[in-house]
Amino acid sequence: MEKSSSTLASYIVIMPAEAKGLLNPALDELARSVEETSAYSEIILLDDSGTDVFQEEVTTALAEHPALHYVRLNRSFGEEIASYAGMDQAIGDHVAVGVLGQDPLTELPRIMERCRSEERIIFGRATNKPTGGLLRRIGQRLFQRYAARALHVELDPRVTRLVAMPRSMVNTLLKLRDPSGYLSVQIGHAGVRPAYHDYVLDRPDLWLARQDLGSSIMRAVNVTAQNSVHPLRFVTYIGVIGLVFDLLYGLFILGIFLFMKDRAPGWVALSGQQAIYFFFICAFFVVISEYLGQIMINVKGRPLYFVADQRQGNAMDQMADKRNVVDE
């Protein structure tokens, strides 16, 4: 693999709590691979554990690898938001993101090389990605079809958090500031066609441990609410159908009033009408409340994450005589 000497590469390593004890061996392999492929590079350790479980490992890593940049978020915001946090900190012309314990970190230089040569976003696609239980598989297929038809985005179920992109794409994603953080959805809406890098997950069990059914459902809801008005449009159709049936029912009542002298008290019909109305009212409240919640999140303009700790190696001290400043 040819060594790039013209651009700065940023490698972001997201560290979930489940990957405790895996940092230093994986980081040593990544550092060797980076030295072979990049003349100028930085490695950003993004601690998304929400605790201090990595403190001993990070202290050792900073002493052995002076070019590291460590950032710890004050709680676990999830891998999607952690990716945004890493991109915020990165200064490279090309940025690659991987998850410790799930992605072999040696894949980062490989996907970075493709990103440099093709100047496009490259998504990692795991050939051994676990599918989970039956309900998860069914829900995943249904959401894929829904996303293709309603959101006009093709979602590959094998796509993981491993990704590499040029600086222009990083700047675009940082402007979007989407709380759902689903990069492949944002890229699809931007009309960008990504390429894919096939690889094997290092620890599929760690990936599955952070992707339970409940969080997957909430992610699907957030992605839909953030990127489409289709649920509201669906409820609109239900409302129109309800109005049509209500008109027909009104005609039926009028016919009973005009042509039927011996009329029943009408308690059952009245109760059924009230039940139908309450059904539609509840449906409207559910969808409208979800969209109002998303609007409140966006209007507040709160940061996607908060940094609890930030440290760097002593690379700047070693390069003090090479800084681009002059003394008068």
What pLDDT shows up at residue 326?
Answer: 43
60: in domain: yes
Give the chain as a 3 state SS string.
CCCEEEEEEEEEEEECHHHCCCHHHHHHHHHHHHHHHEEEEEEEEEECCCCCCCHHHHHHHHHHCCCEEEEEECCCCCHHHHHHHHHHHCCCCEEEEEECCCCCCCHHHHHHHHHHHHCCCEEEEECCCCCCCHHHHHHHHHHHHHHHHHHCCCCCCCEEEEEEEEHHHHHHHHHHCCCCCCHHHHHHHCCCCCEEEEECCCCHHHHHHCCCHHHHHHHHHHHHHHHCCHHHHHHHHHHHHHHHHHHHHHHHHHHHHHHCCCCCCCHHHHHHHHHHHHHHHHHHHHHHHHHHHHHHHHHHCCCCCCEEEEEECCHHHHCHHHCCCCCC
Mean pLDDT of 267-296: 71
61: in domain: yes
What pLDDT shows up at residue 95?
Answer: 95
Question: Do 49 and 170 share a structural domain?
Answer: yes
Q: pLDDT tens-digit profile of 159-180?
A: 888 999 999 888 888 876 665 5
255: in domain: yes
Question: Do 258 and 192 share a structural domain?
Answer: no
More confident site: 243 or 224: 224
pLDDT at position 14 over 60 = yes
What pLDDT shows up at residue 293?
Answer: 64
Range of the domain at 199: 9-228+304-322
Mean pLDDT of 128-152: 79
39: in domain: yes
Poorest-pLDDT segment among 18-32, 94-108, 254-268: 254-268
pLDDT at position 319 over 70 = no
Question: Do 71 and 126 share a structural domain?
Answer: yes
What pLDDT shows up at residue 133?
Answer: 75
Question: Do 198 and 248 share a structural domain?
Answer: no
328: in domain: no
Total structural domains within the chain: 2
More confident site: 17 or 317: 17
* pTM of model > 0.85: no
4: in domain: no
Question: Do 64 and 22 share a structural domain?
Answer: yes
Question: Do 248 and 219 share a structural domain?
Answer: no
pLDDT at position 317 over 80 = no
Question: Do 318 and 174 share a structural domain?
Answer: yes
Question: Do 273 and 216 share a structural domain?
Answer: no
Question: Do 234 and 212 share a structural domain?
Answer: no
